[in-house]
Amino acid sequence: MKKLSKYTYYIAHDIGTIYGLGRSPEEAIVDALEECPDLLDLDTVEASEELAKQTCLEGGCFGWCLSMRGHAMTMAEGELEKAVPLMDDAIREDLHFNYEPGYRDSGRFLAEYHVRHLEKFNGEVFSYD
């Protein structure tokens, strides 16, 4: 897998596994075929920065999904995307602007939101499913 830099990235995948990462759909396919030359019929899709980073660091990502806008993202980003419309605006904005550990980590952002929601709403659990 390639080193991550500040570009738009694409993943090459089959139904559940990411095999390649590149700055274009073609480059993602080439990256996948370097590791697994027997792969056939791979799809490509634009990847979120968080998914590209996770793919690069782990040599693949075993938990990803498509966003409502049709790009690939981590499962944590998918959960956050579902939760945001139901979040308290004040808590969400405070986290967005002031919570450094969650700035590029959707899972940490959502976990911290749950804690702050419990505190603000007297133990009421935040649910978005």
Q: Residue 85 is which amino acid?
A: P
Return the pLDDT at 127: 92
Return the pLDDT at 61: 57
Return the pLDDT at 6: 63
**Looking at per-residue confidence, does 7 or 105 come out higher?**
105
113 Cβ contact list (under 8 Å, min separation 6)? 83, 87, 91, 92, 95, 126
- pLDDT tens readout for residues 12-63: 988 778 888 899 999 999 999 998 888 888 999 999 888 888 777 766 655 7
State how far the Cα of 74 lies from the Cα of 78, in Å rounded to an integer.
6
